Amino acid sequence: MTRQRKILLPALHGAALLGLLITGAAARAAIHTAVYTGIVSDGLDVTGVFGAPLASLDDLPFVATFRYDTALGDRTTLRGQRDTIVGGSTYGVPTMITEATLRIAGITVAFDRDYYGLADAAHGFVQTGNGHYFDDGITYNWDTLTAGAAVSGAPPSLEWNMSALAWYGGGAFQLNSIDLASGQFLRRAGGSLLVTWVTTSGGTGATNLPEPASWALMIAGFGMVGATLRRSRAMVGGQGRLHRD
């Protein structure tokens, strides 16, 4: 076996390892789920929804979970470009959001779902949103939860499953309930969300994206391939200089 082959074989093995790590398996389910995780980048809990009143929510980890039924709402699919479902009273059709929750500081709050819902996928981007509006002349409620993330390689389809790092992502939440007679807030909390990871499930296909546990191995694999190839180039270059001499 030549020296060059001995040098390149580890690189090929590293590439094969990466190929195995980025394969996915399809799953089937009736309800689709989108989960966004990250940290609260700017938040204030006025009435103590997630803990003590008047507490800052900055830098606390969050998990925003949406479940939606693709048989509901109004769906528009531009093949190869975008896949979007909207619903709720603002669109005149039932919302497809069946559950929307936000967990901060170990406390999970469920959002009502009636005013609007959104599930959207485009090339390299996914987003989900939910809104609730209520005004009976006694209390006024306005609650929203939205999140989106740019994910390299994500297809423009809501039917695909993935669990991947968000190259960038964000969102926001509001929880507002006001007693109209007194003007007092019965519930108030809100803030911005910095999304770092997104997981979708329930579709009929799988993206070629790594699972969370695979990222460390992938980074190690890339490092092994890069180091081996750099060594190969250095040795080949050294042999060239020796030959010229």
* Pair 41, 157 in one domain: yes
The tokens for 53 are 């009143």
Percent of the chain past pLDDT 90, that is, above it, reads 60
* Pair 174, 223 in one domain: no
* Pair 179, 191 in one domain: yes
Q: What is the pLDDT of residue 224?
A: 43
**The pLDDT of residue 223 is above 60:** no
Q: What's the CA gap between 210 and 238, in Å, rounded? A: 37
Q: Categorize the per-residue pLDDT at 120 as very low, low, confident or very high, splitting at 50, 70 and 90.
A: very high
**The pLDDT of residue 7 is above 80:** no
Q: What is the pLDDT of residue 79?
A: 86
* Pair 75, 125 in one domain: yes
* Pair 78, 188 in one domain: yes
* Pair 9, 69 in one domain: no
Range of 2's domain?
A: 1-22+210-245
5 or 163, greater pLDDT: 163
Q: What is the pLDDT of residue 1?
A: 47
DSSP string, 137-189: SSEEEEEEEEEEEE-TT--S-TTEEEEEE-SEEEEEEEEEEEETTTTEEEEEE
Q: Categorize the per-residue pLDDT at 112 as very low, low, confident or very high, splitting at 50, 70 and 90.
A: very high
Q: Which region among 15-24, 69-78, 90-99, 109-118 has the lowest average model confidence (pLDDT)?
A: 15-24
Q: What's the CA gap between 145 and 119, in Å, rounded? A: 12
* Pair 32, 142 in one domain: yes
Q: What is the pTM of this model?
A: 0.72
Number of domains in the chain: 2
* Pair 130, 45 in one domain: yes
**The pLDDT of residue 169 is above 70:** yes
pLDDT in tens, 22-58: 333 333 336 899 999 999 999 999 999 999 999 999 9
* Pair 5, 97 in one domain: no
What secondary structure letter does DSSP report for 88? B
**The pLDDT of residue 141 is above 90:** yes
* Pair 123, 195 in one domain: yes
The tokens for 180 are 């109209």
Kindly report the average pLDDT of the chain as a whole number. 78
* Pair 146, 43 in one domain: yes
Q: Categorize the per-residue pLDDT at 205 as very low, low, confident or very high, splitting at 50, 70 and 90.
A: low
* Pair 64, 158 in one domain: yes
Q: What is the pLDDT of residue 206?
A: 56
Q: What is the pLDDT of residue 32?
A: 94
